[in-house]
Amino acid sequence: MKLENLLWPLGILAIAAIAIVTYNAMAAPLPEGFPPPTPEGEIEVKQYPTYRAATVRYTGELSQAASRAFDPLFQHISSNNISMTAPVETRYPDSTLDAAALGSLREHGEASVSFLYRSTDVYPKEIAQDIEVEEISPMTVVSLGLKGSYEYSSYQENIKRLRDWLTQHPGYTVVGSPRRFFYDSPYIPEPLKRSEIQIPIRQIDN
């Protein structure tokens, strides 16, 4: 067997091993009381406690919301010596949920992008003009676990699955804006990136 034929599969294994180590090493901690990410392809109902978030409001192309808000949010936690957590949260307009029901796409609107503090005991000393510190109340959500691309097109495609779930479970009603949780850094290989799409819900009283 030629040496290059032997080294080729070893190189692939080495790259895979590095990717897995990087994936594990760069996974930031969850905020206190948060449930673990929903497994890929599964839909489940989850409970979230009160949490505190630093938020940037963005208006424009929704596909650009997370990237445009990242720098001011990163500067905020860096200047306040606040540790990074996962996930990063993007809340999309209610109209994106309506668009999914109608089979159309919603490309523009106002989104809110947030870094979540590790606990509600954390509060920044300095708050820039474009940052809002929010207290998010406890909520129940229906969540779809995803792995792969963080592109906005992935949100558009998969929000429909949650709309279908709601149609099949009429005992729940929507009580908040849809959102996406992004768990991994840009350095994680795209096929390994974890995210969730969620819709806040409430069980309807009989």
Q: Among the residues of the chain, which ranges form H helices?
A: 3-25, 65-79, 94-102, 152-168
Which pLDDT belongs to residue 98? 78
Q: Is 1 within the bounds of a domain?
A: no
- CA 132-67-73 angle, to 5 degrees, is 30
Note whether residue 120 is domain-resident: yes
pLDDT at position 25, please?
Answer: 37
Domain-embedded: residue 2: no
Q: Is residue 18 part of a domain?
A: no
Q: In which domain, by residue range, is 37 found?
A: 30-203
Given a cut of 90, is residue 26 above it in pLDDT?
A: no
Q: Are 22 and 188 in contact (CB under 8 A)?
A: yes
Check residues 64 and 26 and name the one with the higher pLDDT: 64
pLDDT of residue 28: 87
| Paired tokens of 172 | 């729940």
User: What was the pLDDT predicted at 5?
Assistant: 55
pLDDT tens digits along 93-137: 998 887 665 555 668 899 999 999 999 999 999 999 999 999 999
What pLDDT is attached to residue 94? 92
pLDDT of residue 153: 92
Domain assignment of residue 63, yes or no: yes
- Determine, yes or no, domain membership for 193: yes
Higher-confidence residue of 4 and 78: namely 78
* CATH number of the domain to which 171 belongs: 3.20.80.10
Q: pTM (2 decimals)? A: 0.84
How many structural domains compose the chain? 1
pLDDT confidence of residue 18:
38
Task: Write down the pLDDT at residue 101.
Answer: 57
Q: What is the mean pLDDT of the chain?
A: 87
Q: Residue 137 domain-assigned?
A: yes
Q: Is residue 88 part of a domain?
A: yes
